[in-house]
Amino acid sequence: MSTASAAGPLLSVQDLGVTFGTADGPVRAVDGVSFDLTEGRTLGIVGESGSGKSVTAKALMNLLPSYAEVEGSITFGGRDLRALAAARERHFWGVELTMVFQDPMTSLNPVKRIGEQIAECLRVHLGRSRKVATAEALDLLERVGIPEPRKRLRQYPHELSGGLRQRVVIAMALACGPRLLIADEPTTALDVTVQKHILDLLDDLRRERAMSMILITHDLGVVKGRADDVMVMYGGRTMESAETPTLFGRMHHPYTRALLETIPRIDAPAHTRLVPIPGRPPSPAEVGRSCPFAARCRHRIDDCLDGVPPLVPVPVGAAGAEGAEDASHHSACIVSVGSDGRGDS
């Protein structure tokens, strides 16, 4: 993944594990996930539903329920987030580290006016006066492209469209000047025509503020051109990670390749059906004994069922060739898959 600056990465996650105690036994939702994020960069986390993306984000945001058992370390700006959470020091969640969820209504209070909600963030976290907070709320609504912002300050969430509500949530997430914004499928609930506008807005805001971002999506196409680095998750584990051009140029893992086939092509005839990945993702209870993708992988060999493949550097050059390794490109597949997608192991 990205090279850390001399001061170290803004965010460093090492060996993150999350297990939920449920009536049916422990559910391992995230298993041994590690990554670094350098200040100012965007990391795309991509995977199908149930891959462990949101649980990873919630672990960073200290939003997991009390019955979740968390392992590993999370360091943000040199501070140990898990230790801060344990000490109930909550002051910088919502300030330096904020999150935008898939459904804007999750973050909005339906019975409070928009202006009050944004101003409240500023008053509570930054101690702004009511007057200053309202003026800043107006600026923020303008910046996220909400038409007639003065009128919107006095409206309630239900009076706005889904796209405008998500812009309000983005304004709230930006209010305190975060160093890291986590956007978890921020456009999945929105109309297709609105999706690109919101993604472009997030990208513009990120550049303008030199903010770091984690962009979570099930769509590999969304991270192309928007994320600097990509981490592909499946069954709670990292399947492949690389800088974005490397991932698209020298894709290694069969799961990443399968995800790519599910992206709609711009030049495809209208109504072309996408190829869904056959089979189902593993349930978290099944994770841990073999390659998580084994049940659906057309390159599977017997060894794939014999333990969980480790995430290792991918050799540079032809797939499977001996030679230099790319320190930023890792894959958790024991079979070398050629660029034509054929296994050659």
Alpha helices, DSSP H only, in the chain? 53-61, 81-86, 114-126, 130-143, 149-153, 162-174, 192-209, 220-223, 244-249, 254-261
Does position 51 interact with ligand ADP (CB under 6 A)? The reply is yes
Question: Could you tell me the two tokens for 215?
Answer: 């962009």
Tokens at 126, concatenated: 């930054």
Segment contacting ligand SF4 by CB under 6 A, of 88-96, 143-151, 281-289, 330-338? 330-338
Residue 54 as a binder of ligand ADP (CB under 6 A): the answer is yes
**CA dist., res. 44 & res. 222, Å (int):** 9
Which of 309, 319, 329, 336: binder of ligand SF4 (CB under 6 A)? 309
Nearer to Mg ion, 54 or 212 (CB): 54
Q: Using the minimum distance from each CB to ligand ADP, give the nearer residue, 55 or 119.
A: 55
For the record, the structure tokens of 85 come out as: 């959470």
Q: Are 216 and 57 in contact (CB under 8 A)?
A: yes
Using CB under 6 A, which of 172, 304, 311, 319 touches ligand SF4? 304
- For residue 167, the SS3 value is helix
Smallest separation (angstroms) from ligand ADP to the CB of 59: 9
Contact by Cβ (8 Å): 37, 9 = yes
> 19: helix, coil or strand?
strand
Q: Can you give the binding site for Mg ion, defined by CB under 5 A?
A: 54
- Closer to ligand SF4 by Cβ: residue 217 or 331: 331
Per CB under 6 A, the segment of 22-30, 155-163, 220-228, 331-339 that binds ligand ADP is 22-30
Choose the stretch contacting ligand SF4; rule: CB under 6 A; options: 103-111, 135-143, 314-322, 333-341.
Answer: 333-341
Query: Of 6, 10, 53, which Cα lies nearest the Cα of 228?
Result: 10
Considering only 9, 32, 44, 52, the residue that binds ligand ADP (CB under 6 A) is 52
Kindly state whether residue 19 participates in binding ligand ADP, applying the rule CB under 6 A: no
Is residue 53 within the footprint of ligand ADP (CB under 6 A)? yes
Spell out the residues 6+ positions from residue 139 whose beta carbon is closer than 8 angstroms to its own.
none
Residue 245, Cα to own-chain centre: how many angstroms? Answer: 18
In angstroms, rounded to a whole number, what is the distance separating the alpha carbons of residues 119 and 67? 33
* Residue from the set 37, 43, 55, 222 that interacts with ligand ADP by CB under 6 A: 55
By CB under 6 A, tell whether 47 contacts ligand ADP.
Answer: yes
DSSP conformation class of 320 = T
> For ligand SF4, which is the closer residue by CB, 197 or 300?
300
Amino acid at 282: P
> For ligand SF4, how many residues bind (rule: CB under 6 A)?
13
Cβ contacts of 85 within 8 Å, gap of 6 or more: 62
Closest CB to ligand ADP among residues 22, 272: 22
Report how far residue 303's alpha carbon sits from residue 124's, in angstroms, rounded to the nearest whole number: 55
Q: Which is nearer to Mg ion, 107 or 134 (CB)?
A: 107
Pick what 293 binds: ligand SF4, Mg ion, ligand ADP, none; C-beta below 5 to 8 Å, kind-dependent.
ligand SF4
Phi, psi at 234, each rounded to 5°: -155, 135
Phi, psi values for residue 142, rounded to 5°? -65, -45
254 binds, options ligand SF4, Mg ion, ligand ADP, none, Cβ within 5 to 8 A by partner type = ligand SF4
Binding site for ligand ADP (CB under 6 A): 20, 22, 27, 29, 47, 49-55, 65, 284
Binding site for ligand SF4 (CB under 6 A): 254-255, 291, 293-294, 297, 299-300, 304, 309, 333-335
